[in-house]
């Protein structure tokens, strides 16, 4: 019975993970149809897992029959998954008829199974080490065929749509493809025994973990290479096996001690283990929370202390400028002092905004807008700076770009950072090229300069707050290394992605970001 215990605990852990990720994605945007479908898919998968765990541990055939009958949730899992993939790829208009057909066929099979339960599940009997297991009928075979067909269709759609997506869209699709193959490899092992093929379905207890790369691909902004995440998923799977083994050992130890030690209760070992795990988790959470609090407090206090004397300087200069008897040279000097004070005030505001963005207390107002028009407006504010440095500016903005949903002021600030950096780090007589590109699922902005470039050792830290290379400090002595970090936060708040590339030191660089197109 130790094998059954391992499978049961493994399914229990998998159910918790599956539902946890489902609620996590839903909490990230419950109004988002894609998120709701993902949650429904997780619920359907949990239905299959609960059905398996309860049925496998129930010896009474009549009760076990109805537990196993809940395997019918595979129908919902299939159609919700297909619908989710089509929406995630922004391909619903092209594959609407496939999605609608899958719902129609799925409901037809569901109705037939309910009307003719004996054709779906004739009986349940003991198999291998399971107290009961399914004996599938013809309708079960049809349901399983439908289930497999849906997943094959989903793979075909992902394969066909991948080429039409942006670079980031392709990478997200790779995550979904990996999740599909991982889920198929683990979940399919539950079915051969249904048709009396003696294959141990123990690997099926990991089916709930296939949502991990899906969630990572949906939520994460700076996606790692899929090979790295695949490696992490394998490690995570090994950890699940380890946790399952430990919990099984705890359960067996509790059984042994409750029999051989007078006064020992079965619940004592699991309770003690849970208490230790809770204390360790709480201490770790508290320590990390204190570090975050100190960071926010330091920035808040510092910026507020900066603003007080700077505001006084501004008031004093404005009072001086209001006088009519100031000599011309003095007035010019006061103007420079006032402008410098205003720049420092704006910098302190930027620092406080950075904290608000980090803590997600910064209100954004989203409207449907044209990214091309916004880029043109931002570029217009740099006309004088570009002319002063004799920079050759090239702008390529297609007339028919997809619209985006964004906070105009915040997004303008991010674009301002990218263009300002390009101008600051490009020498006199250099060149800058601004390009916008439209895809089916995203719009991409990129600005390429002929400036100081980025070394291989610098790329990983470009968007780290307060980081500046020595060459950057020499090229622009006034920067503090916070603009790119804030721009990155702004783009990510718009569910976009950001990045940079360079051929090397002195060979210029390209900074880019993508924004999802407006969903009708």
Question: Is pLDDT above 50 for 360?
Answer: no
pLDDT at site 132: 93
Among 34-43, 122-131, 311-320, name the one with the lowest average pLDDT. 311-320
Considering only residues 204 and 263, tell me which one the structure prediction assigns the higher pLDDT.
204
Extents of the domains making up the chain? 2-253, 288-359, 367-516
On the 0-12 / 13-18 / 19+ scale of CB atoms within 10 A, 288 is: exposed
Q: Report the range out of 65-69, 90-94, 300-304, 341-345 with the highest average pLDDT.
A: 65-69
Quote the percentage of the chain above a pLDDT of 70.
72
Question: Is pLDDT above 90 for 115?
Answer: yes
Question: Is pLDDT above 80 for 481?
Answer: no
Q: Could you tell me what percentage of the chain is helix, strand and coil, using 3-state DSSP and rounding each to the nearest 5? A: 70, 10, 20
469 token code pair: 């290379």
The three-point CA angle 132-137-140 to 5° equals 90
Question: Is pLDDT above 60 for 267?
Answer: no
Residue 43 Cα to chain centre, angstroms? 20
User: For 154-170, what is the mean pLDDT?
Assistant: 79
pLDDT one-digit tens code per residue, 288-335 = 555 555 555 556 556 655 666 777 787 788 888 888 787 888 888 888
Question: Is pLDDT above 50 for 222?
Answer: no
pLDDT at site 323: 81
pLDDT at site 78: 92
pTM tops 0.85, yes or no: no
User: For 8-21, what is the mean pLDDT?
Assistant: 85
- Cα 41 from Cα 48, distance rounded (Å): 11
Question: Is pLDDT above 80 for 63?
Answer: yes
pLDDT at site 223: 44
Element (H, E) at 345: helix 328-359
- Cα 441 from Cα 172, distance rounded (Å): 11
Question: Is pLDDT above 80 for 493?
Answer: yes
User: For 107-116, what is the mean pLDDT?
Assistant: 94
Quote the percentage of the chain above a pLDDT of 90.
20
Report residue 410's pLDDT band, with 50, 70 and 90 as the boundaries: confident
Among 176-180, 196-200, 287-291, name the one with the lowest average pLDDT. 287-291
pLDDT at site 29: 76
Report residue 226's pLDDT band, with 50, 70 and 90 as the boundaries: very low
Considering only residues 45 and 336, tell me which one the structure prediction assigns the higher pLDDT.
45
- Cα 26 from Cα 154, distance rounded (Å): 22
pLDDT one-digit tens code per residue, 385-401 = 888 888 898 999 888 88
- Strand positions, DSSP E, 104-155: 123-127, 130-135
Report residue 495's pLDDT band, with 50, 70 and 90 as the boundaries: confident
Question: Is pLDDT above 90 for 103?
Answer: yes
Fold matches, 2-253 and 367-516: no
Residue 130 Cα to chain centre, angstroms? 38
Question: Is pLDDT above 80 for 344?
Answer: no
Among 86-95, 141-150, 257-266, name the one with the lowest average pLDDT. 257-266
> What is the number of other CB atoms lying within 10 angstroms of the CB of residue 239?
11
pLDDT at site 83: 94
Strands 431-438 and 392-396: parallel
Architecture of domain 367-516: 2-Layer Sandwich (3.30)
pLDDT at site 356: 57
Could you please state the CATH topology (level 3) that the domain comprising 2-253 is classified under.
Rhopdopsin 7-helix transmembrane proteins (1.20.1070)
Question: Is pLDDT above 60 for 67?
Answer: yes
Question: Is pLDDT above 60 for 236?
Answer: no
């Amino acid at each position: 019975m130790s094998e059954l215990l391992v499978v049961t605990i493994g399914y229990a852990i998998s159910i918790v993970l599956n539902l946890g990720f489902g609620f996590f994605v839903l909490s990230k945007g419950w109004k988002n149809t894609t998120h709701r479908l993902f949650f429904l898919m997780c619920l359907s998968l949990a239905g299959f897992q609960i059905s398996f765990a309860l049925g496998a541990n129930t010896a009474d055939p009549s009760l076990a029959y109805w537990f196993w009958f809940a395997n019918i949730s595979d129908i919902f899992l299939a159609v919700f998954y297909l619908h989710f993939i089509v929406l995630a790829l922004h391909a619903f208009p092209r594959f609407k008829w496939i999605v609608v057909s899958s719902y129609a066929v799925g409901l037809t099979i569901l109705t037939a199974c309910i009307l003719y339960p004996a054709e779906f599940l004739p009986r349940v009997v003991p198999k291998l080490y399971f107290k009961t297991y399914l004996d599938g009928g013809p309708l079960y075979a049809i349901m399983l065929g439908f289930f497999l067909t849906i997943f094959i269709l989903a793979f075909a759609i992902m394969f066909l749509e991948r080429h039409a997506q942006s670079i980031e869209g392709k990478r997200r699709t790779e995550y979904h493809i990996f999740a599909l193959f991982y889920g198929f490899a683990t979940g399919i092992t539950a079915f051969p025994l249904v048709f009396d093929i003696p294959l141990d379905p123990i690997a099926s207890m990991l089916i709930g973990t296939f949502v991990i790369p899906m969630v990572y691909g949906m939520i994460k902004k700076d996606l790692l290479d899929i090979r790295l995440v695949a490696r992490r998923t394998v490690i995570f799977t090994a950890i699940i096996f380890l946790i399952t083994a430990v919990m099984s050992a705890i359960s067996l130890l509790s059984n042994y001690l409750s029999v051989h030690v007078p006064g020992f209760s079965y619940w004592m070992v699991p309770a003690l283990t849970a208490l230790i795990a809770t204390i360790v988790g709480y201490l770790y959470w508290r320590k990390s929370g204190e570090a975050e609090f100190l960071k926010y407090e330091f920035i808040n206090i510092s910026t507020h202390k900066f603003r007080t004397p700077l505001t006084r300087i501004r008031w004093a200069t404005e009072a001086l400028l209001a006088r009519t008897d100031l000599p011309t040279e003095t007035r010019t000097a006061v103007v420079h002092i006032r402008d410098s004070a205003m720049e420092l005030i704006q910098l302190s505001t930027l620092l406080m905004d950075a904290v608000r963005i980090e803590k997600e207390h910064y209100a954004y107002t989203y409207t449907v807008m044209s990214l091309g028009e916004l880029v043109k407006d931002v570029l217009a504010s740099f006309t004088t700076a570009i002319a002063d440095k004799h920079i050759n500016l090239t702008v390529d903005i297609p007339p028919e770009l997809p619209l985006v949903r964004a906070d105009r002021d915040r997004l303008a600030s991010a674009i301002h950072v990218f263009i300002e950096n390009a101008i600051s780090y490009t020498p006199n007589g250099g060149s800058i090229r601004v390009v916008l590109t439209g895809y089916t699922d995203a719009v991409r902005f990129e600005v390429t300069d002929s400036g100081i470039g980025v070394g291989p050792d610098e790329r990983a830290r470009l968007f780290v707050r307060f980081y500046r290379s020595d060459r950057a400090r020499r090229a622009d002595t006034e920067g503090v290394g916070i603009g790119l970090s804030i721009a990155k936060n702004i783009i990510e708040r718009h569910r976009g992605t950001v990045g940079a590339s360079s051929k090397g030191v002195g060979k210029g660089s390209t900074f880019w970001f993508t924004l999802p197109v407006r969903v009708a």
